[in-house]
């Protein structure tokens, strides 16, 4: 299933009379990591949720390689800023996703546990693990079934440098293995380290869409320069 290009046609999204996203038009062919950045309230998380189908939009507004969101939903997953985990052990959280994705391989969870280095917390209820571990479990759940697209909403914003480094490694590894990553981030150093494409939003509008390299190299608007400077 070909998921690129991602085409967005005239995407608008309002809550009551408040315009959250305005006239977004995009055509993206980036295969690896696309960063969605912007100040608080710029619409980053909303855009991510719309791309994942958690917020419905008119049909044909968004096309993934010619497919609509419902057609491609089973090939997507998402990791939220505050990881959402069931009140069960790490193993049972993974088992829940494996069962619902009807994966038959009985060693599948073991492979995921090993890949993400979760052995030490495998039998621990996720209520009792640290923030970084929770985020790793959430990422582990998101990669079950090898989705073609993963959305990450500020996945490292609450983590210490060690976990940040570990999770960035996992994200880079996923992108290298042909998983398309969409990720929101405020962390300029992180964006420079792993980002390939940049979508910059301001008050619901896309004001920059090009490579991350150009984002930092070229002269930008005052708003973006200020974002880079203080980021």
Partner 1 sequence: MLINILETAFNLIITFDKDLFEIIGLSLKVTMSALIIAVTISIPFGAYLVFFKNKLQNLVVLFSNTLMGMPPVVLGLLIYTLVSKKGIFGFLDILYTPTAMILAQTLLIIPIVVSLTYEEIYKKNKEYNLLLNSLNLSRLTKLKTLVYESRYALITVALTGFGRASAEVGAVMIVGGNINHFTRVMTTSIAFETSKGSIELAVALGLILITISFIITLLIKSLRKIS
- Catalog residues that contact partner 1 under the rule CB under 8 A: 52, 54, 73-74, 77-78, 80, 84-87, 96-97, 100
Name the residue nearer to partner 1 (CB basis): 33 or 97: 97
Query: CA-CA distance, 95 to 183, in Å (whole number)?
Result: 25
DSSP string, 151-205: EEESTTTT--HHHHHHHHHHHHHHHHTT-EEEEE---HHHHHHH-SEEEEEETTE
Query: CA-CA distance, 194 to 175, in Å (whole number)?
Result: 10
Q: Exposed, middle or buried by CB within 10 Å (0-12, 13-18, 19+), for 105?
A: exposed
Name the residue nearer to partner 1 (CB basis): 1 or 84: 84
Sign of CA dihedral 102, 104, 105, 110: positive
Least distance to partner 1, CB of residue 31, Å: 22
Half-sphere exposure of 161 (CA within 13 A, CB side): 1
Least distance to partner 1, CB of residue 185, Å: 19
Name the residue nearer to partner 1 (CB basis): 88 or 203: 88
Least distance to partner 1, CB of residue 84, Å: 4
Query: CA-CA distance, 214 to 146, in Å (whole number)?
Result: 31
Name the residue nearer to partner 1 (CB basis): 55 or 228: 55
Name the residue nearer to partner 1 (CB basis): 77 or 190: 77
Least distance to partner 1, CB of residue 207, Å: 27
DSSP letter (8 states) at residue 101? T
Least distance to partner 1, CB of residue 25, Å: 26
């Amino acid at each position: 299933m070909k998921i690129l290009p991602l085409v967005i046609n005239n995407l608008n999204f309002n809550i009551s009379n408040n315009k959250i996203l305005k006239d977004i038009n995009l055509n993206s062919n980036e295969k690896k990591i696309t960063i969605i950045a912007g100040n608080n309230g710029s619409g980053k998380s909303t855009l991510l949720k719309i791309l994942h189908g958690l917020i419905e939009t008119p049909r044909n507004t968004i096309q993934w390689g010619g497919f609509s969101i419902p057609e491609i939903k089973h090939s997507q997953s998402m990791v939220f800023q505050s990881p959402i985990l069931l009140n069960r052990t790490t193993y049972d959280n993974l088992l829940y996703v494996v069962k619902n994705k009807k994966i038959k391989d009985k060693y599948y969870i073991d492979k995921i546990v090993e890949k993400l280095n979760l052995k030490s917390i495998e039998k621990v209820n996720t209520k009792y693990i640290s923030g970084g571990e929770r985020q790793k479990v959430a990422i582990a759940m998101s990669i079950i079934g090898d989705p073609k697209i993963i959305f990450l909403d500020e996945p490292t914003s609450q983590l210490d440098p060690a976990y940040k480094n570990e999770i960035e490694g996992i994200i880079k590894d996923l992108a290298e293995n042909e998983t398309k990553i969409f990720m929101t981030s405020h962390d300029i150093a992180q964006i420079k380290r792993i980002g390939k494409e940049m979508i910059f939003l301001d008050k619901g509008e896309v004001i920059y869409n090009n490579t991350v390299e150009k984002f930092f190299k070229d002269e930008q608007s005052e708003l973006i320069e200020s974002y880079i400077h203080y980021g």
